[in-house]
Amino acid sequence: MDINANEILRNLVDEMLSDVENIPELLQGLSKILSKIGSSKD
């Protein structure tokens, strides 16, 4: 299954705009996603 990073980022931004109080949690999720994307590149 291919990771569509742009779609994931767009969804994160939408969540961030609708629920500003959860920014730390969203940033933690984003860093996890980025590390997954980085480690899956060969």
pTM over 0.95: no
pLDDT value of position 12? 81
pLDDT of 25 above 70: yes
Contact criterion met (CB below 8 Å) for 26 and 11: no
Task: Determine the Cα–Cα distance for residues 2 and 15; give it in Å rounded to an integer.
Answer: 22
pLDDT value of position 27? 83
Mention every residue, 6+ apart, whose C-beta is less than 8 A from residue 8.
Answer: 33
pLDDT of 24 above 80: yes
pLDDT value of position 14? 85
Distances (CA, A) of 37 to 19, 20, 42: 25, 25, 10
Instruction: Give me the chain's average pLDDT, please.
Output: 80
Location of structure tokens 């996890």: 32
